[in-house]
Chain A
Amino acid sequence: SQQGEEDPQALSIQEGENATMNCSYKTSINNLQWYRQNSGRGLVHLILIRSNEREKHSGRLRVTLDTSKKSSSLLITASRAADTASYFCATDDTGGFKTIFGAGTRLFVKA
């Protein structure tokens, strides 16, 4: 089944820096989502971008989508220690009934 793949697998930055995570996927999609997971917790939805959108913002988050390259990026600006978490991209399958997750990027923000 199709799956998003995040890059890098892990990222360590200083507080105040920007963090960029990338996601690639294999087949056509209706939408792409980004989720956050704190250690040992459930996932929390961050943002959804539809296939006809190219960029979306939410607070310190900026998501881009390039359907021609089958890729998306998540930018977190002015990162904080509290942003330390794993971030996953997720895509719908072509049937529209399942959400497929990538392996995630582990972000560590040093105070």
Chain B
Amino acid sequence: DGGITQSPKYLFRKEGQNVTLSCEQNLNHDAMYWYRQDPGQGLRLIYYSQIVNDFQKGDIAEGYSVSREKKESFPLTVTSAQKNPTAFYLCASIEGKENTGELFFGEGSRLTVL
């Protein structure tokens, strides 16, 4: 079945550590997105990528980094510069380079900073 796989589902980090969240899709979608969700709130865009080797900052990119070396993969690194990283992180993809249709989401990764 085609879909988006995020891993790990749960992750604990000590302050000062970088962590990388994985996002893989086998939908052959061009564009991929990373969102952050805080309890009881909506989604805020961190980074997005429309094609391989290209990505753009979203609304809350500070303290995060991404790469897009392969079409299927869009990993997100939460760096030590992110002051409040505890959150639920969602990866999504869409067919085509432009946002004109349905976003497909992974099941999310919950990051907790100890």
Q: Interface on A for B, CB 8 Å cutoff?
A: 1, 3, 30-31, 33, 35, 40-45, 48, 88, 90, 92-93, 96-104, 106
Contacts and interface: CB of A to CB of B under 8 A. Distances in A.
B25 interface: no
B48 interface: yes
B99 A96 contact: yes
Interface of B: 4, 6, 31, 33, 35, 40-45, 48, 50, 56, 58-59, 88, 90, 92, 94, 97-108, 110
B83 to A, nearest CB: 21
Given A43-B43, A98-B45, A104-B41, 15 more contacts: A40-B88, A40-B110, A42-B106, A42-B107, A43-B105, A45-B103, A88-B42, A96-B100, A97-B31, A97-B98, A98-B58, A98-B99, A99-B33, A101-B44, A102-B42
Contacts of B59: 1
Nearest to B91: A42
B104 A45 contact: yes
A8 to B, nearest CB: 13
A44 B105 contact: yes
A41 to B, nearest CB: 6
Nearest to A46: B102
Nearest to A30: B100
B108 A41 contact: yes
Contact of A97 (B35, B50, B110): B50
Contacts of B4: 42
